[in-house]
Structure 1
Amino acid sequence: MRLKHVLLAIGLAAVWGFNFVVMEIGLRHFPPLLYAALRFALAAFPALLFVGRPGVAWRWIVGVAAAVGVGQFGLLLVGMRAGMPPGLSSLVLQTQALFVVVFAAVVLGERPGTRRIVGLAVAFAGLAIVALDFGAGGPVGAFLLCVGAAASWGLGTVIQRKAAPPDSLRFMVWVSALSAPPLLLLSLAVEGVPHLTFAWEGVASLVYVAFISTLGGFGVWGWLLKRYDASTVAPYTLLIPVFGLSSAALVTGESISPVKLLAGVLIVAGALWAGTRPRAARAYAAEAAALAAAGRASTISPTASSSCEADRNHASYAEGGR
């Protein structure tokens, strides 16, 4: 990647990492499910009027909206309201790689391979350390909700891989549009009719997560993926918990203990090892992506096709906590 594009990718990870602190601030002013509904409603409208049709079957949009819009963000925000710190949430969400492999094996019949199993074992060890450390003094239910959010994200990743949307920004706008109504209904059913006071920081939080993190972030993400293969771009998203933990420490005073650092190293290193491919396989993936874009996917060799799928496994929704 060119230097300015590397800086752009790092900046995108910083935006998505800081997103957890912004959500923590938003939760001071909105109930979690309502906050999620407003976030996706703002991301969808008026953008929906300009992006055109989604370019994929509606069942895929419904599936991703249910898994990611409602499942991931609903569980994440409820977990954060229940006591899960924002920095730690950004770290735990990276364990979605574990669930991607599980769901891909069950739904798609994929075999993870030795490299991926080793990487996931390392990441799981980091998650276990987080669980033991946080469980000793924090609410276990909040931690489990965050793990459930990671599982929902993993399921959404598999669904999106099946959908293979041609434009990630347009796809996200439509996912947002279909996520907002069920989240609003859940909010009314669970949280009741809200009594809102629109403080400036609450409104600013919604503006950030809807326009900067969601629309702006996905726009940059799609732009980078059009210029580089997924295995080149996706590893930069592993910087998200680095920025999430550091920004939470600076803004909210969340502590970064040696135990958290160890867990973070294990989770990020394990996810990186499991999600990236050897150099030769990356070359096949780039070839497969080029052929698919040219409409000649049927000519891709089985090896190239398999490698391309593995790259998308790491890239799809790598922008977690957006």
Structure 2
Amino acid sequence: MSFFTRPRTVFFLAGLCCLLWGSAYPAIKQGYALLEIGRNDIAAQMLFAGYRFVGAGLLLMVFAKLSGKSLALHRAQTGQIALLGVLQTTLQYIFFYIGLAHTTGVKASILNASGVFFSVLLAHFVYHNDTLTWRKLLGCALGFAGVLAVNIGGLLGGAATDGEFTLLGEGFIVLAALVLSSASLYGKRLSQGMDSVVMTGYQLGIGGVVLVLIGWIAGGHIASFTLAPSLLLVYMALLSAVAFALWGVLLKYNRVSTVAVYSFLIPVFGACLSALFLGESLLEWKYLVALLLVSVGIWWVTQEK
């Protein structure tokens, strides 16, 4: 048995990946605060995102090179990866970073998990061997019920802001999830012909460069990087690179369902870390119910029969 197929190894490494991805929610919010990036300063938000993903892409490329992988691309692959980078990194994170500036980390963690359910539904129409089953339908229904539960507090007697759903906030987070799930299907097809780590490194780097260019053209400016925000940016680049690399290794040695089932931990970690580091409220019935529904839904759609 390979080291990477041992149940304990899969549990630890997959859990670590989910912890890293979940920590991105409070990290981005904290970065906005440290760099004094306002919720309506979209140009600066794009710069902040772009710097992170350029760094993450470079780190993955270095890792791939040290692992003995070839970084060479065919002409056709260059255009395909560029398109993937614009979709999966640039477009997704335009929605995500703007959305996170207009909502809480707890809500964003739960809402962004809807991407798993979008992927299940889209895969049914793209892959003939990945059809919907009653189990998957039930999981999707639970997941989307959890997404709705996040925003119904105000309808049941809470304060008006408890149930508020805004396009720039919660709406953009859900759109980011939809873009990611759509682009991931395209990325899955490309990965059949090249190494997934190299592909991810290129697409993160290309998408990050486009985000930086958008920020510059829009007149974005970020205050000088002092020690704290600089370390935070390095951490965010590392978390993306490390999590993608480890997840790719786990998928290489295990069945997809064996690894994907742990993705229910991402909204759990994201919500808990946002509550811990940002002081946001998590112990409200609507958040707890939503988190439970989303987590169970992800578990159902990623499990084997």
What TM-score, normalized by structure 1, do the two folds share?
0.77
SS at structure 2 position matched to 1:45: helix
For 1:134 and 1:106, locate their aligned partners in 2 and report how far apart those are by CA, in whole Å: 36
Written as runs of structure 1 = structure 2, the 5 A alignment for 1:246-257 is 246-256=272-282, 257=284
2:154, 2:170 → 1: CA distance?
8
Instruction: Specify whether residues 189 and 99 from structure 1 end up closer, same or farther in structure 2 by C-alpha distance, changes over 3 A only.
Output: farther
The separation in 1 between residues aligned to 2:60 and 2:13, in whole angstroms, is 23
Select which of 166, 170, 182 maps to 2:198. 170
Q: Tell me which moved more, 167-176 or 95-104.
A: 95-104
> 1:112 Cα shift?
1.9
Please identify, of 89-98 and 62-71, the stretch whose mean Cα deviation from structure 2 is larger: 62-71
2:19 maps to a residue whose letter is A
- 1:26: Cα distance to partner? 1.6
Moved more, 156-165 or 71-80: 156-165
Tell me the equivalent position of 1:99.
118
For residues 105 and 235 of structure 1, do their structure 2 counterparts lie closer, same or farther at Cα, with a shift above 3 Å needed? Answer: closer
Q: How does 1:64-213 map to 2 (within 5 A)?
A: 64-82=84-102, 84-108=103-127, 111-133=131-153, 136-137=160-161, 138=164, 140-141=166-167, 142-165=169-192, 166-190=194-218, 192-211=219-238, 213=239
The runs of at least 4 aligned residues of structure 1 exceeding 6 Å deviation read: none
> What is the aligned-residue identity percentage?
24
Aligned mates of 2:55, 2:122 — CA distance in 1: 31
Give the corresponding residue for 1:239: 265
- Residues of 2 paired with 1:19 and 1:274: CA distance? 24
For the structure 1 residues 242 and 194, does the alpha-carbon distance in structure 2 shift closer, same or farther, using more than 3 Å as the test?
A: same
Q: Is the 8 A contact 2:59 2:241 kept in 1?
A: no
Structure 1 unaligned segments of length 5 or more: list them.
279-322
- In 2, Cα distance between the equivalents of 1:46 and 1:271? 30
Instruction: Name the amino acid aligned to 1:274.
Output: V
- Alignment of 1:7 onto 2:12: yes
Which runs of 5 or more residues in structure 2 are unaligned? 1-5, 38-43
Q: Is the counterpart of residue 26 in structure 1 residue 53 in structure 2?
A: no
Count of aligned pairs between the two proteins: 275
> How many angstroms apart in 1 are the aligned matches of 2:205 and 2:154?
35
Whether the 8 Å CA contact 1:63–1:159 is kept in 2: the answer is no
> Structure 1 residues 231 and 108, CA, compared in 2 at 3 Å: closer, same or farther?
closer
CA distance in 1, matches of 2:285, 2:108: 17
Instruction: State the 1:54 CA deviation.
Output: 5.6
The two structures, once aligned, show a CA RMSD in angstroms of: 2.4
2:303 aligned with 1:276, yes or no?
Answer: yes
Higher relative contact order (CA 8 A, sep 6+): 2
Offset at 1:81? Answer: 1.3
| Contact residue 121 and residue 270 of structure 1 kept, 8 A | yes
Q: State the shift of 1:244 in Å.
A: 1.0
Report the TM-score, using the length of structure 2 for normalisation.
Answer: 0.81
Distance apart, 1:171 and its partner CA: 1.7
